[in-house]
Structure 1
Amino acid sequence: EEIKNLFTKELRGREEITNYEAELRRAAKMFFVEKDDKVEVIAGYPWFGRWGRDTFISLPGLCIGLNDMNLFKKAIDTLIGDMSQGLFPNIGSGERSAYNSVDAPMWFFWALQKYTEYTGKKKQVWKEYKDVMQSILRNYRDGTNHNIRMLDNCMIWAGEDGKALTWMDAVVDGVPVTQRKGMCVEINALWYNAIMFSLELAQESNDKEFMEEWEGIAERIPDEFKSTFWNKNVGWLADYVDGYYKDYTVRPNMVIATSLKYRCVSDKICQLVLDRVEKELFTPFGLRTLSPTHRDYHDVYEGNQQQRDLAYHQGTVWTWLLGHFVEGYLRIYGDCALDIAERIYNGFRIHIKDYGVGGVAEIFDGNPPHNSKGSISQAWSVAAVLRIKHMIDMYRQEKEGGLK
């Protein structure tokens, strides 16, 4: 009888799969695991568990697609329970947490920003999360684990020998495959966005003390960011900077600097970045992690564990980056960007039936035909496709509203 009741309850909760978007929503729902009033987001099936970074990047797309902000809050609050010294667990939970992620706390601000935009609850968000937000910002400013700290130029520096602290985290024989120790472009773009978003909420709640503490830093960052990462003779942003060394390898991380609400660079620089990304990194299923013109480019993701790790962020295509590419593209190109956004969204219609049925793969080969690889259904891949659909719908609504 108990099994019968559970089966009946499950059937009631299921949505009839009648169209493409409904399939994506069903996939989104499968990533949430509830236990003891806590909610975790599984990064991907069949072998991933909870990842902090992936959770924050995935939540806006998954929860907006499901129209369920309660799930969003529960997942955020669950991770906050494991926060330590301004850092969230990259993997694991409780005593088994590993805090080797410089970007997860920055993505926390971005996720909360999307939640606030969707719900409009600025004062409530500040009341509930100010202490957490302030703790992260102060830890990054004053210094925390893994040499994460703010330099005199207000940029965030992070890194340790043998550690890969950003999402490009493959390590082979104790050495990061993608060297990024120093000031990373997306970390500092997210850092500025985090401070500005916090100031936006503080202003709404008339929190003058917080504003006085952070306004000076916020005012300095755009100029410092530009002088650190931009080179007009190159025409795009450096991927990372360490001392006098600036790495201008064409990678997709710079696209995040174009997609955020609070950006450090001008529309013209954003346009140049997007054009470079489109020319060298764009594919129908995601962005390549390295330009095909680079000597270290891997055209396919295959082989033994070491060979796959060497290719993981050295040319392999990742779908989650498309959400930021489309967001930046819509900001800069407006109506002209709608066509490419719709083509990207519709391009996954066939894919969700031919690899992991109903899901979106973790990665794809860098070269055509861009075969699906990795996990059969990845949270931030599904989230990106759902978020692209939401951006298309919102852009149309705003345009129609403006014409009335």
Structure 2
Amino acid sequence: MSYIKFDKAQIVNLEYSLKREVIRTNRAGSYSSTTIVGCNTRKYHGLLVCPVDAFGGDRYVLLSSLDVTVVNNDRSFNTGIRKFKGDYYSPKGHKYIDELEMETIPSRIYRVGGVKLKHERLLVHYEEQYLARFTILEASEPMKLQIRPFLAFRNIHELTHANLAANKKIDFIENGIKAKLYEGFPFLNMQLSAKTEFIHVPDWYLGVEYPEEQKRGYEYSEDLFTPGFFEVDAKEGDVIVFSASTKEEKTSGLKTKFTKTVNGKIPRNCFINCLRNAAQQFIEKRHGKTLIIAGYPWFGSWGRDTFIALPGIALARVMRSLELYREVLDTQVERMKDGLFPNMGSLSNPAFNSVDAPLWFFWAVQQYVEVGGTDAWERYGEALKSVLEAYKNGTAFNIQMRGNGLIYASAPGKSLTWMDAVINGIPVTQRKGYAVEINALWYNAVCFALDMARLVRDRKFIKEYEDLPDLIKNSFHELFCDHQRGYLADYINDEEGKNYFVRPNMVIAVSLPNSMLSKDQMQKVLDVADKELVTPRGLRTLSPGHPLYKGSYHGNQEERDNAYHNGTVWPWLLGPFCEGWLKVYGKQGVQKVRKLIYGLEEVMSEHGVSTISEIYDGDPPHSPNGAISQAWSIGEVLRIIDLLENKYSNI
């Protein structure tokens, strides 16, 4: 039996099946995503979604969906499905699904009339090509297969509507057609492996609705263009492959290409392999750069997320590739500016508004050293030193080391830490000033750099920085530690003084390789976090006992932003919590960590199938939310599993 499988009752129950989505990438910027029954519920859904260089490399939905119709005994059975106004679904192809599997590639088996049809789909690695394979498993007599493509040709963040500017013309190519709705786009080449007839009947399907966008407070209705449909004769045993690509294909090789691509995939037949498979989806190699995409379907590459996710994605033993690790770090170093890394934005127009990304860079290099990266200082030493220099002397966003050795950061209208939601130019989580995790990371960075400098006898660097760790540590204890409360201040600034909201940021101060806390202090911090923040899905961003706590992440953009870091659960925080727990409790802490990490196996058939979501509600049952697959959620779980299985495997 397959590891991830859905039964007939679950499939036909749209309340259940529309909440489960699939994301596949080509590892070069393109992705394919929809629900398990093939009904698009987001504007981000599409079968072929590609970056378009003419428009700054942003992603565009080219092929939105396919309607596949079985024509048998003068009867037609359309296996497609989409939503229209008033909870009206047409066609209702989900009712024909007999089996649904996800083990290697998404696969649906339809039973209609006297026909049993298997529909499999994938993206080809490093090519902008979507392939669908149709196998006629049973057919009592010859039949026809009709395949109707629906095109969008629009940015993933926008919607399209019927218009006169769309180019309805097509050109015939080998076993298919090519279409380009607007200038600047590539042609979409749609071809079949079998001899086919294309019936050119261009039309707009009006008022297709995306209920997930409606829930999120966005526009949710669009019109999709169809140029017509393919019709092919088929019989039992036939295998037909449909290709949608930005380049014209040799159709004689489509079947072989499909099989070869399937054979190169990690089967999702257990928890670890699901994580491995999910991790690979975040790697993007394009234009000579190697990036980690923060999350799908709407995130790009973020510096902070990259450094936190990378060790699990590229260094865990089930994933290990030092070459990949170096490629990602090298790409980030190339993009540095004034000691800062791009936090978000496109390659051509990045934003550098992250005080922690450069400090997580040190941590990422530390992880590289731990697995034998002997060239770390030679390769990254200058970049590391440039960060320290920038922070010591001051850089953008008023990021600067003050006389007490601690980092102070404050910029009007900017959220510089990972708790970065902003509404109408005002940060939701006001954490300007001295932030606890920033200064914990700063101390770790200085200590690590000194350790590396001592190995290569960099006397000038050692002389400049050797007294700084003690200054940082003493100032940190004076400002952040509160023996009565038993935990650390979250942040301190000149206007508000000390803020003692119970948040997870203090846990990072425990988990880092170089910590300023005693074992007793670590234990107290972890115990508070365990009592107030830990859930089966990750750590809450604020204690439920606080008046600002939001236990549910829902509503429009403003409502969701208010909850984003005020109670919402983040799985990636299990990384520092579990590492800190093992540091303090050792063998006695293994059982708890195992329960937390392996408990996430429950989510493999939820939200993003075979992956871990960006966030979960703070209140039980901790429903999944946000992006359906998040890099640091996967990366940190892989990293802790690696720690457990290789240091505590006998417990």
Q: Is the 8 A contact 1:106 1:190 kept in 2?
A: yes
Q: Does 1:111 align with 2:364?
A: yes
Aligned to 2:601, the other structure's residue is in SS state coil
2:520 counterpart residue number: 268
Q: Output the aligned Cα RMSD.
A: 1.5
Report the AA paired with residue 367 of structure 1. D
- Residue in structure 1 matching 2:476, options 197, 201, 225: 225
Whole-Å Cα distance in 2 between the matches of residues 5 and 76 of structure 1? 36
Following superposition, the deviation at residue 325 of structure 1 comes to: 0.1
Deviations 1:287-315 (A, max 9, x none): 00000010000010011111000000000
1:194-343 map, 5 Å: 194-243=445-494, 245-343=497-595
Report the AA paired with residue 313 of structure 1. H
Whole-Å Cα distance in 2 between the matches of residues 387 and 26 of structure 1? 15
Q: Does 1:25 align with 2:286?
A: no
Following superposition, the deviation at residue 168 of structure 1 comes to: 0.3
- TM-aligned CA distance change 1:26 to 1:220, over 3 Å: same
1:396 counterpart residue number: 648
2:602 counterpart residue number: 350
Whole-Å Cα distance in 1 between the matches of residues 364 and 257 of structure 2? 33
Following superposition, the deviation at residue 6 of structure 1 comes to: 5.0
Q: Is the 8 A contact 1:82 1:93 kept in 2?
A: no
Whole-Å Cα distance in 2 between the matches of residues 310 and 83 of structure 1? 31
Q: Is the 8 A contact 1:109 1:133 kept in 2?
A: yes
Whole-Å Cα distance in 2 between the matches of residues 208 and 248 of structure 1? 40
Normalised to the residue count of structure 1, the TM-score between the two structures is 0.95
Q: Does 1:156 align with 2:407?
A: yes
Higher relative contact order (CA 8 A, sep 6+): 1
Deviations 1:351-385 (A, max 9, x none): 01121111100000001000001111100001121
Moved over 6 A (4+): none
1:147 counterpart residue number: 398
Report the AA paired with residue 358 of structure 1. S
Q: Does 1:68 align with 2:321?
A: yes
Following superposition, the deviation at residue 344 of structure 1 comes to: 1.1
Following superposition, the deviation at residue 9 of structure 1 comes to: 4.8
User: How many residue pairs end up in the alignment?
Assistant: 397
Deviations 1:297-356 (A, max 9, x none): 001001111100000000000000000000000000011110011101211112011211
Note the residue ranges of structure 1 that are not aligned, 5 or more in a row. none
Q: Does 1:171 align with 2:422?
A: yes
Structure 1 stretch displaced more, 31-40 or 63-72: 63-72
Structure 1 stretch displaced more, 236-245 or 170-179: 236-245
Computing the radius of gyration over CA atoms, which structure comes out larger, 1 or 2? 2
Report the AA paired with residue 342 of structure 2. P
Report the AA paired with residue 68 of structure 1. S
Report the AA paired with residue 126 of structure 1. W
Structure 1 stretch displaced more, 311-320 or 4-13: 4-13
1:125 counterpart residue number: 376
Following superposition, the deviation at residue 94 of structure 1 comes to: 4.0
- TM-aligned CA distance change 1:91 to 1:3, over 3 Å: farther
Whole-Å Cα distance in 2 between the matches of residues 83 and 110 of structure 1? 16
Whole-Å Cα distance in 2 between the matches of residues 315 and 38 of structure 1? 36
Report the AA paired with residue 166 of structure 1. T
2:337 counterpart residue number: 84
Following superposition, the deviation at residue 21 of structure 1 comes to: 0.2
Report the AA paired with residue 82 of structure 1. R
Which structure has the highest helix share of the two?
A: 1
Q: Is the 8 A contact 2:405 2:471 kept in 1?
A: yes
Report the AA paired with residue 138 of structure 1. E
Normalised to the residue count of structure 2, the TM-score between the two structures is 0.60
Which structure has the highest strand share of the two?
A: 2
Whole-Å Cα distance in 2 between the matches of residues 94 and 380 of structure 1? 20
Q: Is the 8 A contact 1:363 1:372 kept in 2?
A: yes
Structure 1 vs Structure 2: percent identity of aligned residues?
47
Whole-Å Cα distance in 2 between the matches of residues 125 and 5 of structure 1? 42
Q: Is the 8 A contact 2:507 2:529 kept in 1?
A: yes
Report the AA paired with residue 393 of structure 1. E
Aligned to 2:539, the other structure's residue is in SS state strand
Structure 1 stretch displaced more, 202-211 or 309-318: 202-211
Following superposition, the deviation at residue 221 of structure 1 comes to: 1.5
